[in-house]
């Protein structure tokens, strides 16, 4: 349904939706026009190239680390919904926060509803460690209810009594955290508290059971 609607947009409408330059708009207009969802695609974990994926460096994963990721990691997508690392994806661009008003939904949060949360917990998972941006977490967080435990992870710097997040460092740390957990075959959320990369350290004073805060070493007040 969503793919058909996107394919039906003309170039100008798609460019406005994606809020991008001409080159990106032209590329993705062709992609949606030519997209055949019956094709197998590329494993999701190896398809994205944002900063967090560069620091996750899945191309360097060992077989056990890939197996860990397939079991524990889920990727949120505005187009595909919830992806396992080895789910095939085709090239696309569609952010969760895109102003995607259609005859069947007012935006992508409305389109996906509680389905992402239901997919994430379908196997009986009782803990969700959130390494997503606020834009994507918003598609899941409102639906979380006991007995499922949701834990936000914040990477920041202490500044005047507040924890301030700096975009690039946050993205780097999210990717490094996934790698850290995979390398240790972590099975409890508390294992994440041992994360010590990119000068970040867990801050018990700033954290709660539902919010793990990591501060860059030497910058905490």
For 86-127, how does the pLDDT look when each residue is reduced to its tens digit (9 = 90+)? 999 999 999 999 999 999 999 999 999 999 999 999 999 999
Determine the pLDDT at residue 221. 47
- Mean pLDDT score of the chain, rounded to an integer? 96
Determine the pLDDT at residue 220. 46
Determine the pLDDT at residue 218. 62
Q: Where are the domains of the chain?
A: 1-39, 41-216
Which three-class secondary structure state does DSSP give residue 129? strand
Determine the pLDDT at residue 132. 98
Where does the pLDDT of residue 217 fall: very low under 50, low under 70, confident under 90, or very high at 90 and above?
A: confident
Q: Model pTM? A: 0.94
Q: Is 6 exposed, middle or buried (0-12, 13-18, 19+ CB in 10 A)?
A: buried
Tokens of 71: 């079991």
12, pLDDT greater than 60? yes
């Amino acid at each position: 349904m969503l793919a058909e609607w996107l394919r039906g947009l003309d170039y100008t409408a798609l460019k406005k939706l994606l809020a991008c330059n001409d080159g990106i708009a032209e590329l993705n207009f062709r992609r949606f026009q030519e997209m055949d969802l019956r094709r197998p695609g590329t494993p999701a974990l190896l398809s994205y190239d944002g900063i967090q994926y560069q620091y996750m460096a899945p191309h360097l994963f060992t077989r056990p680390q890939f197996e860990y990721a397939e079991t524990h990691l889920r990727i949120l997508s505005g187009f595909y919904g919830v992806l396992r690392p080895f789910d095939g994806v085709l090239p696309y661009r569609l952010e969760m926060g895109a102003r995607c008003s259609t005859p069947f939904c007012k935006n992508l949060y409305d389109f996906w509803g509680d389905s992402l949360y239901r997919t994430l917990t379908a196997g009986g998972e009782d803990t969700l460690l959130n390494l997503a941006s606020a834009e994507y977490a918003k598609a899941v967080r409102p639906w979380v209810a006991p007995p499922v435990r949701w834990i936000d992870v914040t990477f920041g710097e202490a500044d005047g009594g507040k924890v301030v997040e700096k975009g690039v460092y946050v993205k780097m740390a999210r990717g490094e955290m996934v790698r850290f957990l995979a390398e240790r075959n972590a099975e409890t959320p508390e294992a994440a508290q041992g994360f010590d990369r990119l000068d970040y350290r867990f801050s018990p004073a700033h954290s709660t059971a539902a919010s793990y805060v990591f501060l860059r070493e030497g910058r905490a007040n």
